[in-house]
Amino acid sequence: MLLTVKNLNISFEQYTSFFRKRIVHVVHDLDLEVRDGEILAIFGASGSGKSLLAHAILGLLPYNALVSGEIKYKEEELTKERLNKLYGREISFIPQTVNSLNPLLKVGRQSEYTADKRDVEIVYEEFGLEKDVLNLYPHELSGGMLRRVLVSDSILADANLIIADEPTPGMDTKSTDTIINYFKSVKAKGKSAVVITHDIEMAMKCTDRIAFFYDGTIIETTEIEKIGEDGNGLAHPYSRALFRALPENGFHSIEAGDLC
């Protein structure tokens, strides 16, 4: 197994009025497996804790996070020291926030850390980014352009495992199709990706399995082809209700009884 997460729990220490400390539990009892050569989507409502899973895997949680559980890469514990050696080489990250680029460096220089200039230009062109973009600073680009730069950097890294946190917001149809083809090529090379997304249509086109996230944990993981057009192949009532409530599935409203 390429990536294994067992019994992951994430809580945060917070201080309320009069310096009273409380513990907020946000992720609990989470299990996840990613196989070699697999593209796995993680799908759920906003605020369910999906991004925290990515940050836990990559060691990016803030100082007040309390984490327990087991995270292994290639059957070995993914310690901070090991992650530092693998990050950017075997493991790459497409962050959700476009503010992750260094504001003091031109975007081309940042991309050239992982590839030569010609390769950077080729990948940028695939995402509709002109050569002039290489000489611009992050604040000179729109949010959609910054996201395309971040995805381009991940492609250039050519890592064995890609963690992508909402890679498509702000993308036009052409760029989204390029990302879909990118994940297909990742699989064709025998590499893997975890794609955290709200874009179920994109996930259905390029992933092998989808994990449904609800209330801080994964409630169901299933192969894409088993879902069915109306979600009847899904076992958990929340998964079915969420799938059917999507605009592409007719905006079926979620009734309280649907979740029982």
Lowest mean pLDDT, pick from 20-24, 101-105, 129-133, 243-247: 243-247
Q: How many residues does the chain have?
A: 260
Is-contact 148 77, C-beta < 8 A? no
Cα separation, 176 vs 173, in Å, equals: 5
pLDDT at 257 over 80: no
User: What are the pLDDT digits (tens) for 146-197?
Assistant: 988 999 998 888 899 999 999 988 788 888 898 999 999 999 999 999 999 9
Say yes or no to pLDDT of 256 above 60: no
The CA distance from 9 to 70, in Å, is 9
Structure tokens at 154: 């991940």
Contacts for 140 with CB less than 8 Å, ≥ 6 apart: none
SS3 assignment, position 214: strand
Q: What is the pLDDT of residues 75-102, one digit of tens each?
A: 999 999 999 999 988 999 999 888 889 9
Residue 91: predicted pLDDT: 96
Please give the average per-residue pLDDT across 216-220, as a whole number.
95
Instruction: Note every long-range contact of 28-32, with CB atoms under 8 Å and residues 24 or more positions apart, other chains counting.
Output: 28/216, 28/217, 29/217, 30/5, 30/69, 30/216, 30/217, 30/218, 31/5, 31/6, 31/7, 31/218, 32/3, 32/4, 32/5, 32/8, 32/211, 32/218, 32/221
The confidence score (pLDDT) of residue 251 equals: 56
User: In whole numbers, what is the pLDDT of the chain averaged over residues?
Assistant: 90
The token pair at 77 is 């514990």
Q: Where are the domains of the chain?
A: 94-158
Q: What is the pLDDT of residue 252?
A: 61
On the question of pLDDT at 254 being above 70, the answer is no
Give percent of the chain above pLDDT 90.
Answer: 58
Q: What does the pLDDT average to over 31-57?
A: 93
Residue spans of beta strands (DSSP E) within 16-51: 21-34, 39-44
